[in-house]
Structures are given as C-alpha cells and as structure tokens.
Amino acid sequence: MGDLQISLLVIGVLAVAAVYLFNWWQERQFRRRSEQAFAREHEDVLLEGAPARDADLVERVEPKIAAESAARPATVRAAVKSPTPAVPDPIIDYVVEVGLRTAADGVDLHDELLALAAGWGKPVLAAGYDRGSDAWHAAGGGRQYSQLRFALQMSNRAGCVEQGQLTSFRDAAVKWAERNRGEVKYSDVAEAHAMAVQLDRFCADVDIAIGINVVARDGSPFSGTKIRALAEAAGLKLEPDGVFIAYGERGDARFTLDNHEPMPFVPEQMKTLFTSGITFLLDVPRVDAAMQAFDTMFETAGNFAAALDGSLVDDNRHPLSGGAIDTIRQRLKVILAKMDAAQIAAGGARARRLFS
C-alpha cells in the first residue's frame, strides 16, 4: 500500500472518529440539559391508574427528553426574552432590609453575598427604594439609596434553602450594615426556614409537566425534513440547542417540541435525521394562560400525528383518547387554581423565579 493510500485511509478514519465524537458530545450535552431542566421530581397529569395524591396527580416519570430548559434551563426557556430585573419579594425571598444615614449603592455587599451564595444554587437580589417613584428598583447602575433590600430566594427547582445558609446570608448583611453605620431589619431565621420548607413543598405539589408523544403507527420512522417543515408551518422555532419552541405574542415560551429519542434536532442534521417519535411538552408553572397553551399544544400534536401518520400517546405509550384529554384539562384547572390561591400564578414573575 502506497503512502498516498495510507494517508487517505488515516484521513478517512479520523473523519469518521470526528463525526462520532461530535455526535456523542451533542447527545451528552442534550442529556445534561434534560436532567437540569427538571432537577426536582415533576408530576405528569397524563399518567393514569396510579394511586391518587393531591387532586389525583401522581409522581411523574420523566420522558426521555425534557424541555430545557425546563431548563429550567431555563426550563422551557426564560419565559420572557427581556425580563424586567427582579426585586426582592417577601413571598419567596428571605429579605434583609438596611437603612443608611449616608446613601450608597450596596454593590459591594451584593457582590459579597453573591460570592457567599455561589454554591447554593439560589438567586441573590439587591434593590433600593426610590422616593420619587415610591418603588423598589434593582440596585446598581451608580444610583445611591438610603434604603436597601438584600434577598436570598428560598426555593427553586434545585430544592429548599438550608437554615444555615439563611443565617450566613443574614450575618453578612448585618456586618456590612454595621460597617456602614446602618440599621437592619430581618425576620427570624428559624421561622423563615419553616416558611421556605412550606413554600418548597407547595412548589413540588404543583410542579407538573404535560407531555404528549407522537409515535410512528406502523414502526416507520419520521423524517427530520418533514418534522421541521410541519414545525415551522405551525410557527415553532428551532433553537440552536436542538429544541423547537412555540413562542407567544410577548416572546414567552408556550411549549416545546423535542425528539423522543436521545438526540437533539440539530439544524444541520435535520435532512438526514429519522426518529421513531417526537414529544410535545408544557412546563405548566412557567406558562401564562396554561390552559390555552395546553389546548394549542394538543391541537398542534394532533396535526402532526395526522400529517406523519402517527399516534398520540402518553409517556407509557397509552393512546390519548378524548376522555383522557378531558381528565387532563380538569386536573390542570385544579393546579392553576391552587397556584392562583397561593398568589403564585402560573407564568407570573414569582412562578418563573421559583420554577427555574
């Protein structure tokens, strides 16, 4: 074998290896996003026949691929593309309020608290009170305030804040206030932690994802070309990470469309991709007007099933009948009403922070 043939053979082997490694890396990244999207156990109102728990909802067995958003992830994406900076909210945050004799921006304390909470997985916020607008605004930008609030979010999809973390957070704010001759106000740490535990339990109870699968009726796989055409015709946008997103008029994510198999919809590979099924997913707590979003998702999934000659099934591959959909809608109403009663409306600012 000549040198040229050996060189071509080596180049061919390297090319095949490169393609294999690239696909492996993409699949690994997509699996990681899926796991992060729903770190805490969800419930799936599509599952039937299991023991009832709180409004007949059952423990969710996640689809192989979940929305990232999500995940998370942000899960099903950050619900608004350009969100207003959050300010401390006593409903979901542990807040330490500082009154100063000499106005300051509090940036140094904010940075200190961010560093302190870097491994906790909980957002830290800082806000200042503006007398002119009689409102609290995200601190920073060079503005000075005589009243500041620093907050640690008490729960999210990573779980509940620990009591020791609340104590450390409070102590850091108190020391800063003492250095700046300020006065501090804060709630009892033990009581705050008890509230955090209750909040986290509530979130776990209402944290549901509704998945609808479209699978091949006769075993023939769906082509990526046709899936993409149908998705774009329905107004879904394929994002670089391999998930189609249905956006609302305000730019908020309504639901997602994923590959049911462990490989994302990579734009460059859609022409050669074939799959045995696709999954539509609605991340209920993060979606405004979730009932309408569910109806739209179900209608879209039905259109895909008809065009692809597929069947609508749940995560256990049970066919979705009209009666099953009616049951889902009734259970969804219960969840949405429960969130409204708790002043954590689905798709609202609080929900988007808690379910991230």
- Which of 284, 345, 296 is closest to 46 using CA atoms? 284
Tokens of 21: 């490694």
Question: CA–CA separation, 89 vs 111, rounded Å?
Answer: 19
Which positions ≥6 away from 228 have C-beta within 8 Å? 238, 265, 270
Q: Domain 207-354 classified CATH 3.30.1400.10?
A: yes
Residue 337 corresponds to which amino acid?
A
* Backbone torsion region of residue 343, taken as left when φ is above 0, otherwise alpha when ψ lies between -120 and 50, otherwise beta: left
pLDDT given at position 36:
41
Residue 178: both structure tokens together:
């003492």
Return the closest-CA partner of residue 338 out of 283, 289, 285.
Answer: 285
Q: What is the pLDDT tens value at each position of the chain, 356 positions in all?
A: 666 556 556 566 555 555 455 454 444 444 444 444 444 445 555 544 333 333 333 333 332 223 333 333 333 443 334 456 789 999 999 999 999 999 999 999 999 999 999 999 999 999 999 999 999 999 987 899 999 999 999 999 999 999 999 999 999 999 999 999 999 999 999 999 999 999 999 999 999 999 999 999 888 999 999 999 999 999 999 999 899 999 999 899 999 999 999 999 999 999 999 999 999 999 999 999 999 999 999 999 999 999 999 999 988 888 998 899 999 999 999 999 999 999 999 999 999 999 99
Give, in order, the Cα–Cα distances in Å from 9 to each of 1, 17, 19, 20, 105. Answer: 10, 12, 16, 17, 64
What are the DSSP calls for 210-224, one per residue? EEEEEEESSSPPEEH
Of 172, 198, 201, 189, residue with least CA distance to 94: 189
pLDDT at 73: 34
Residue of 340, 32, 28, 47 whose CA lies nearest to 211 = 47
Secondary structure (3-state) at 79: coil
| CATH architecture label of 93-153+158-203 | 2-Layer Sandwich (3.30)
* Spatial separation of the C-alpha atoms in residues 346 and 188, rounded to whole Å: 29
Residue 113's φ and ψ, nearest 5 degrees, are -70, -35
Please give the sequence-ordered ranges of beta strands (E in DSSP) within the chain, or none if there are none. Answer: 93-104, 124-130, 135-138, 145-153, 155-156, 159-160, 183-186, 209-216, 222-223, 237-238, 244-247, 253-259, 274-275, 277-283, 310-313
User: Domain ranges in the chain?
Assistant: 93-153+158-203, 207-354
- What's the pLDDT score for residue 43? 54
* Token pair belonging to 80: 């608004």
Q: Tell me which residue has tokens 């990244």.
A: 29
Q: Which amino acid is at 101?
A: R
Q: Which two tokens stand for residue 39?
A: 């770190």
Q: What is the pLDDT of residue 168?
A: 98
d(C-alpha 170, C-alpha 150), whole Å: 9
Domains 93-153+158-203 and 207-354 share a fold: no
Structure-token pair, residue 179: 């250095």
Q: Report how far apart, in Å, the C-alpha atoms of 346 and of each of 18, 45, 264, 287 are.
A: 44, 16, 28, 6
